[in-house]
Structure formats: C-alpha cells, structure tokens
Chain A
Amino acid sequence: MNELNRRNFLLRAGTGLSAAWVSANWPALLSAATHAQNAAKAATPPKFEFFTPEEAVEIEAITARIIPTDDTPGAREAGVVYFIDRSLATFGADDQKTYREGLPDLQARVKEMFPSVSKFSGLAAEQQDKVLHSFDESSNATRRAFRARPVAQNFFETLRQHTIAGFLIDPDYGGNHDGVGWKLIGREREHVFQAPFGYYDKYYPGWQPVVKEADEK
C-alpha cells in the first residue's frame, strides 16, 4: 500500500511536473525510493510477536472502544492491534511492562464489576465503556507533540495513545491499514500537494497592498 503511494510520488515527479523540477529533485527521488524499500520491510506482520492470540483479542476489543467502528472504519479495521504488537516487540519495548501488568488488572476489574463475565471481550459495548471509564484519569497527558511527556502513565492512557498513533500514523509505518484513519479525517494520501489547498484559498487573487481606508467604503 505504501509502495503505491511512493510510486505515485515518483510517477508524478516524472510526468506531472517539469523536467527542471525533476532534476532539482533528483536527490529527493532517490530518497523516496529508499523510503519505499524501508516501508516494504515494515509491512504488517502476519503473526503476533508480543501478544498471545488471546491477549490480542482483548487488546483489539479495547482499541475498538477507543476508536469504535460505526458507519466508518475504526481501530479494528486500521489493524491497530498489529501496530501495537509490533511496536512493543521493537521500538516501544519500554511499554511492555505496562501491558503485561495492565491487562490482568483490567480483567480483574471486569470480574469485579461484572462477576458473571471473565473477559473484557465478553462484555457488551456499554459494559466495556464502563470498565474503561473506571480507568480513565482524564488527565491532559499529551497536549502537543512538542510538550514534555509524562514519565509514567497508566495502562489505559498508554493504550489510548497507542491506539490513536496506530490509527493515524502515516500508513507507510505499519499502522493505519489501508489509510482508513486518514480517510476518516480527510487527509489525502499524497506525497506532493499544490496550491490551492482548501476552500478559502481557492479563489485568492494573490497578495494585494492594503487599500486606503477612504477607498474602502
């Protein structure tokens, strides 16, 4: 999938844009090709590396409440559980403990709140939300990407952030399967854009010096 996008970029660079642009961009084209290769290596794994299949079912059920499936795809369709699994097995290994300890805690809470059910995935959606609300600290954890991140945070908050990341990351990097997250928010999957970009700049005539106030009326 990511291959396609990169290929579009390369094709576009070769045909839709001027020869001068292409020559000026030669290093960039090489760079994009490298990206495509890297991305191919980073394809979604067919098997879970960190979660057991049973854990994966539970984690996926939680992600599906964080970004639910309704008339549009949600975390489930975006393959968020695969993204998280791969993260924990690789760059996100620091969070392994949070998951190893957090999931049993959550299951214990399920039994406490709904004694007849043993697993989160066995609850109805409304019951699942009740369990998650009982963990949600509603803290202002990460406001902006450049703000300091808290050192430690609870399992639900970690999973919430990972779900958002797995849903909205550039599909080249192992989440957001088929770009469903970007489709939802209206972000086109192109590598190159040209003005006009939106509704308000479509008919913008270009910058004009300010008209004298007397002329304005």
Chain B
Amino acid sequence: MLGKLFQTSKNKEMKKSILGIIISLLMLQFVTSCKKYLDMEHFFKDRQNIDTVFARRDYTEQWLADVYTHLRGPNSDVGNKNDVLSNFLSDDMFFGDRIKDGRFSNSEYKNFKNGDYNEANWQESWASCYQGIRKASIFIDNVDKNRQMTPDEIIDRKAQARFLRAYYYWLLIRKYGPVPLVPEHGLDYTESYSDLSLPRNTHDECVDFITSELALAAKDLPASLRDSRNLVRPTRGAALAARAKVYLYAASPLYNGNADMADLVDDKGRQLIAQQYNEEKWARAAAAAKEVIDMGIYKLYTYPYHAESQGPDYPPTIVPPFNAKYSNANYPNGWKDIDPMESYRALFNGNVPFLGNPEIIFSRVTEIGSQLTTDLPMHQAPYSLNGWNTYGLTQKQVDAYAMNDGSDVPLNPRVSGFTANNTSHLPLPANVSLQYANREPRFYASVAYSGSIWYRTSINLISEREKQIFYYRGLADGKQPASPEFYIRTGIGIKKYVNTLDAAFRSTPEGGYNVPKTEPAIRYAEILLIYAEAMNELSSAYNVPAYDGNGSISVSRNVSEMSKAISQIRIRGGIPDHEPAIYASREALRKSIKREWQIEFLAENHRYFDLRRWKDAPVEEATPVMGCNMDMTANQRDLFHTPVIIASLPTIFVKKMYLWPIPHEELRRNVRLTQNPGWTNPY
C-alpha cells in the first residue's frame, strides 16, 4: 500500500484525491454528528419521569403511597417512644428503661420532663411534614394528566392528597403552633435562599387554610367506608373529623385570646396567636363535630354481653352494679346487652379489625406496623415474660378511673387489704390490692396493676401461657439486681394494646406471635367529646355554615345533646352518665369532660396536647408523679401500695414547654422564621 503511494506520489491527481478523502471525511464527521453526538437524552427516555408517573395508574398510586408514608414514623400517634414521644411526656404515662445512654433512656426522659431538652431534640417531624406537603402538592398539580384512571378515581385521589397535605399542616401546628404556609404549588427550590425564607403565618390563618382544605377534600371523598384494600385512604368522615379536631384546638384557651402568648410573633412583630377571645371558634368546632355525627354512619363499638367464658380474650361479662336506669336497657340507653370491658378493650388489642368497626374514622391501620403490634407491647410487657418493663402509668391516671358505680375512688384513706382468692373481686386474681377492686371496666382494660394476669396464649407451652405478675422488690419484675433498670418505676403497667395472645417480645417462645393492631387515629368517641366540649363553652346560639356551603348548622349549649354524646361513651364503659347538676354547671361539666378525655383516650397521644391547649399543663404536669413504693418487698405489700413520689420521674412545667422549639438549623436557613417563646435563637 505504502509502496503504491510512493509510485504515484508525483501524481498531482493522487495528491488531490488524498486531500479529497481527508476533507470529505472531515465534512462527514461535521454533518452527521454535531447534533446527535452530544444528545444523550435517549438514554434516559425509558427512565421514570414526572409525566410517565402521572400518566399511568400504578405509578400514580405509588406516588400517592409516597405521600402517605409521612404519616408514619415521627408523625404517628400511637407507638413506641421512638416515634411517639409525646405520649409519654404528660402526666398519665412515662417510660423507665435504661438509666443512661441511648436516645430514649430514662435520663433522656428526665431531660424532657425537666425542660432540659433543646432545639435539636426530636425534630424529625418538621421536615417530614413539609416533605409530605410538597409531595402532595405535586400530586394535586399533576394527577389530572392520568390516562388510565377514571375521572372519579382522579377526583378521589386528588382529594386524598389534599387531605394529607392538610393533615401534615395539622400535625405541624399541633406540635409547633403556627407555622409558615408554603405556596400552594410548592416553593421553587432554584430561587435564592432569601426568596425561600418565609415567615410564620398566624395560627388563625393556618387553621383557616387547613379547615378549608379539609372541607374541600370532604366534598370529593366518598362518604361511605372503604373496602378492606383501601382502608387507610381517608373518607369524607375522616376529613370532617380532622376538621372538627383542628377547630377544637383553635377554640381552646392556648390559641383563643391567649395573652400569655402575646410574645409569639413573626419577623415583623405581628402577633401569631389571637389576643381576642372569640367564642364563635367553639361554635365552629361543635358544628364541625355535628356534621360528622349527622353523617349517621359511625357509632361506638360494642361487644355483646356473654355469661360464659369465651376464652381468655373474652371472660364472662362482668356486669356493672345495678343501676335502675341503665341495667335493664340496651345500648346506647343502657349496658344490658353489652360487655363494657370488652367493648373498650377489643378496640385496641387487635381483636376488632378496622373493617367492620363502626367507631374508627381514620386510621393508619397496619402501617404503624411493628411499632404498634410489636414494639409497644414489648415495652409494656413484664421483664420475666421477656418484655422491657418500660412503660407505665402514674398514680394520678389510676386514680382518675371511677369506681364501677361511677363514683370517685376513695383516696383519703385509700382502700386497704388484698384479695384472698380469684373470685371475690372479679376480675382481680388473688393477692391483689383492694385499691384495684370494683373499678370501672375501662380500668381493667387499661391498667396492669401489680398482681394482674398476663396471658401469652399463642405459645405452645401451656404452663407458660398465663402468669400473675407482681412488681414487688426482689421479684423478677420489680426492682431487683439482675435487671436493675428494667422495672416499671411506679409499679403500675399498661395493658391497653396488649392482646392475650401476644408473646413476641424480646424473644419469642415457640409458637408465639403478636396480634396486629389497628391504630385509632380518629375514632367516633373523639367526635362525641369534641361536640360536648365545644358546645359546653357556648353562651349563645350560632349558625355555622356547613362544610359544603349547603345550609348551616345551628349550635348552642344544649344539655340533652351533650348528654347524648357523653352518655354513649360512659355507658359503653359501663358507668352511668353524669348527674344533671354537672350538666347544669359549665365548669363542672368542663372538668368532667377533661377527665373523660383522660380516661377514654389514654395512650392515644391526646393528653400531652390536651393539657397544653387547655393551659392546664402548668398545674397538671408540674404535680409530682406518684406511684407504688417500689422499694417494698412482697412482705411489705401494704407499704408498696402506699403511694410515694417517684424520684426518677421528675416533673416541671415552664412556659416554653407549651410549644415545641423550632430547630436552630431551620432558623438559620429560613431567616424570616421566628422562634417559639422561651426557646433560644441560633444567635
């Protein structure tokens, strides 16, 4: 080849043809490749993008699933302390656990209860809520593109996203007070940091936005309950119920004409919490609750009366003491046909699924997953049953439960003595303090008193399926050297959420498992109490426009309406309704309703926020925690049951503890944001 080139090298034609080849090669390169050479987008064509997500049904559902995921973790309402810390920081419950090290050790508990927590603690929910809000907004803006869903499905999905967005705002304002409302289509993250800084809106603005969005969602959501494959999706009832709850908080003393919060301001000095009391806010809450009641599809769950045992889960009904009004009437006028203890207990221990339960309005169902099904019972279960012996109740909570005739428990003096056998004071077994005798059925469904029976009926070894647990010093579940940190600090444990089958704790005996439980995020009993509480505060009549703009709801302080609501809860719990004298007094009824909240909604993440919205926390949360004297052995059981102050469970309340601090990191990044009263700024 080279030789040939040489021979013709003097040939000008050849020269030109070499040149021609070079030039045409270059030109070819030029023309064919310039545009295409750098175009790489075809590599990404088959990847997921926002248009394909919303064009297809499955991807759209997946996106929506992602919006829902923010309901979990730090935003859940029932579960382990890792997620639902606030459940354990009020005056009803606590956690013991390890004395030191670890995010949720007893020393951490003390930090929180001493007000020594800081702006960095337990802040995951702030970002999680706003992420959920953004994801929901993208969904709302794009779901109309879908080509595979029917128009009705699109409307329903969009309303679900709208519900979730409002719900995330609600979770934010419940914890932090008023927060910044971001633009409806989301913030443009390519903007400068200063343009991405937003001040806090007023609490009323937040409430207006949340409630109007929930009303909007309610219009498009189905009124009827959903099928078993779509239980978690909110219904119209869920949106209206959440709306009632938001209104109730907004009407409460913390946010309604609260001069103590005059110093909660935005960057321009605007006060964020209303300084003028407005009674109409109560009317809105009452009306919103009434709209749920008037839907007529919810009622309280009841389990029928049965004389014979149906296994450990369903012992024979313990009939409350005879009451002329209630003993012979069927529910809801009386308790003749129901088992009050089981009616309440089965709501939480997994025996009643969500589907077919008329009381649950909104629930994360199984999505709380192991938190509710496993972790929570594991921390409640006694150490000798391979639990952590960590969560417990205060003496105050135990004393809040009424006697089985509806009267208050005698405190001065307390009842002394112990049961001699396991039949004299049903359901108490032998050797249990008589302080726990003859209490209202909800007590027995909730409290793990010293000497109560723990069942683990799912395990194979029959002899281990049932065990009476005492918390005396020296016993496996009391204070003792082998596990010095894992004892229930007050000697009063929690039975709520524990199923008699549950056995999967620190280790799982052969055959053991835990029954999956349904999370009660909003249940009908709450709507009834919201209705009664809000109505009780009214001094005149109000006409409140209906959520859908059709007509209005008139509300005023109506005793029979309030009694109808409250009695449903009390009779289901096996105790009589209040005397007329209580209904006659706003203050007396308010006190009773607060106590009803405390008892009925134990361990459902209510008490911490209720005490704050009522502004009762300065008193209630500053009172020393009392409990059994854990230094007493079985031989000193009288002394064990003489309440003492529990030093490892300190209490204090200062103003800053009303609202959770805003993270410093966020204050640095959003320079227009302002801190909650009492908390520090980064500078």
Tell whether A pairs with B. no
A interface vs B, CB < 8 Å? none
B interface vs A, CB < 8 Å? none
